[in-house]
Each structure stands twice: as structure tokens, then as C-alpha cells.
Amino acid sequence: MITPKCRHFGPCGGCSLQHLEYGEQVEHRRSLVVALLEKEVEVVPMENPWNHRSKMEFTFGQEGGRVTLGLHQKGSYQRIVDIEQCEIAHPEVSRLLCAIREAAGRSALSSYNNRRHEGFWRYAVARVSRSTGELLLVLMTNEGPRAPLLAMAEELAAEVPALKSFYWGVTAKLSDVAQPDRLERLWGAETLEDSVGAVRYRFGPSNFLQPNHALVEKAYAAIRTGAGLTGQEAVYDLYCGIGLISLSLAGGAKTVCGVESEPENIDFAERNASLNGISNAEFICGRVEDLIKGRALFRGGPAPDVIVLDPPRVGLHKEVLLPLLEARAPRLIYMSCNPASLARDLKALTPAYRIESLKMFDFFPHTEHTEVLAVLTRS
């Protein structure tokens, strides 16, 4: 047991394991993964497990007449821990957080109350480009006036020089999810630029990005090694987001085909391919379970040599498994943020496939979560 670094540890629902020394935490997460997978894993820890997150989602609250802004109190949908400094966020994000709270406090508007469904301020979602240190902010509110947002954009731009892009998101959803129904850029750049390995990319307010930049670089490098490319392979990158795995493999492959359900991510994947001068990558918008039916996805293109899978927490849709096995790709590379669904899917993929390596990338220090990469070869 150690003294947690963060002054908000305890009430804050963001980190649950800061009372353990980092090495002990890693061991705790490793043992959870080993228990689920019933196999040993190689661990790739963080060199510095602080200030590592490139995206933070904060919620507004209200205490009496005061606007608060931070993370949910452990186990509570109602109460918000008013955060001054978040030790897992980029330092500029903490600075921005304080400036937003002050600016919102100066307005005459109150925070949204998710029991009464009234009030204005709802969420502040901040993303950072690790290579430039620039910030993109989406300030989300209930339906209401535009003027306070314009005022806030101006105040924040003056107070936080790292802020380069400001979006206003409006959501009237009753559920507590930071997903805007409408999004409008009020100030600054449309997108920010970053890089991972040799790949440059642009991202906007709605794209999926892995939140741990330092380790994602190592994970993508491990995917490249696992793919064992010689320049002749057809690679399929299923659940490709804005195409970062596709683009980091394209140089070593003959062709790469990324599949992703969100049109906005596909748009950025195509733009990022052009940004890197990559012409052997194509991107298809649709749900993997629909496109892979009867192996249609692979019939429309070259037979797969390597298939990369990086699904959301639920893992592979049950209708993906059979066509995936029937495609008989020599290699599968499965990246997962949920060892429980990975364990279930690996059971279905073996014995047709043999597990060549299992690596745990410690993407989410101070929490119970982690990322696992499995490299499989055909038996």
C-alpha cells in the first residue's frame, strides 16, 4: 500500500488502484488476464504511468450555487468530484479543466441535473495531440443559448494557449453519455495532427483513438512484427477506426483493406492515407458482421493473408466467427480491451488457430482495465 499521488483518490471513480505501487498494479492486472485466458502473457508496462491519457471526458455538476466539473464520484450517477488536477490526464488538460469550470461559473447558467433533466452544462471532452501538445475541446450542453459558448470559446482561447480547436456539442439525451446530437465548430482548427510511429494522422472531435499514445505505438509495432509481412500480403484490418493499424501495415503489405462502421472514421482513414501518400489501402464503411457474411468481404478482394481484429469491448459478433474461420487466413492478430470477450473468442478460434504470442499492454494504469494482443497462426 502506498499514499496515492492524486488528491482526489478515494471519492473519484476514475482510478481505483492508486493505493498500490505501479508494479503491484501491473501484477494485479496480469493475474486477472491470466485467469481469464488460462494462459501466460508477456507484459508491456508503461515507463511513466502518469499524464498518459490523450482523451478525457469530464462531467459538469452543481453544488448549491456553484458549477463543478470533474469525474463521477465512485458508484454515483449524480455526484461529481470537482477535479483541480487529474494525474492521468495531460497537464494542459488539467489547466483547461480549471479554466472551463471558472468560465462556466461566471455564466448565469447551471449544470445539467440528470434526475430532473434540466440545466445547461453537461460534458467537457478534451483530446490532446501528443506530438504537438495541442488541445481539441468539445463542450457539451443541453439545448440552450449559443452566446455563452461563444463567450467561453473566447475566454478559453486567451487563457489556455494550447487550445487550438473548440466545438460545441448539443445533447438532449436523457442517458448519461457524452455523445452530441449536434456538433458545431465555434472556434479554431477543424482537426489536429499527431503521429504514431512513422504514420502521421489528423483527427477530429468524434473519431475513435486509443487513449494511451505511448503504448499504442508499441502495440502497433508488435502488430507489425506479428503480421510478418514480406510485401506480398493482403491484409484486412477489421474495426479499423481512423485506419492507424492499416496505415502502419500498408508499407509492408501488397494491399490493406480497413473495415469500420462509423462513416466519420472512414472519412478520416481515407484522408490519413492521402496524408501519408499511401495508395495501397482502401477503406470500407459497414458493420463487420454484415460485410463478412458468406465471406463476401474477401470474395470482393484478394484472399486474406493477415486479418487484424480490434473490436469494441463486446468482442466479435457471433456471426463473424464462422466466415472468419472459413476465410482460412494464415494469420490472425486480435487486439482487445476486454480480456473476457477475448477469452471467449479465442476459445472459438482455437484449435483451427494456434496462439503464437499473447502480450498485455498496460494501456490503463491505476484501473482494472488493460489491453491484450494475441497473434494467432493457422494450425
Ligand X SMILES: C[S@@+](CC[C@H](N)C(=O)[O-])C[C@H]1O[C@@H](n2cnc3c(N)ncnc32)[C@H](O)[C@@H]1O
* Residue nearest ligand X (C-beta atom): 241
Q: Confirm if 12 and 81 have CB atoms less than 8 A apart.
A: yes
> Of 22 and 208, which has the nearer Cβ to ligand X?
208
CB atoms within 10 A of CB 161: 12
12, 15, 240, 337: the active-site residue: 337
Tell me the three cell numbers of residue 136.
481539441
Kindly state the smallest distance separating residue 246's Cβ from ligand X, in Å: 8
> Of 111 and 210, which has the nearer Cβ to ligand X?
210
Cis peptide upstream of residue 263 (ω within 30 degrees of 0): no
Q: Confirm if 18 and 9 have CB atoms less than 8 A apart.
A: yes
Spatial separation of the C-alpha atoms in residues 365 and 91, rounded to whole Å: 17
Look at residue 232 and give its three-state secondary structure.
coil
Spatial separation of the C-alpha atoms in residues 247 and 60, rounded to whole Å: 37
Kindly state the smallest distance separating residue 64's Cβ from ligand X, in Å: 40
Spatial separation of the C-alpha atoms in residues 262 and 209, rounded to whole Å: 13
> Of 57 and 289, which has the nearer Cβ to ligand X?
289
> Of 233 and 260, which has the nearer Cβ to ligand X?
260
Where would I find the H helices in 47-146?
A: 91-106
Tell me the three cell numbers of residue 370.
488493460
First-last CA distance in the chain? 45
Kindly state the smallest distance separating residue 25's Cβ from ligand X, in Å: 22
Spatial separation of the C-alpha atoms in residues 204 and 195, rounded to whole Å: 14
Spatial separation of the C-alpha atoms in residues 104 and 127, rounded to whole Å: 19
Active site (annotated) includes residue 337: yes
> Of 141 and 336, which has the nearer Cβ to ligand X?
336
> Of 52 and 95, which has the nearer Cβ to ligand X?
52
Tell me the three cell numbers of residue 9.
483518490
Kindly state the smallest distance separating residue 236's Cβ from ligand X, in Å: 12
By the criterion CB under 6 A, which residues form the site for ligand X? Answer: 208-210, 239-241, 244-245, 259-262, 265, 287-289, 310, 312
Sequence-distant (6+) residues with CB within 8 A of 171 are 122, 123, 140, 141, 142, 177, 178, 179, 180, 181
In a 10 Å sphere around its CB, with 0-12 CB exposed, 13-18 middle and 19+ buried, how is residue 335 labelled?
buried
Kindly state the smallest distance separating residue 331's Cβ from ligand X, in Å: 16
Kindly state the smallest distance separating residue 147's Cβ from ligand X, in Å: 34
Q: Which residues are catalytic?
A: 337
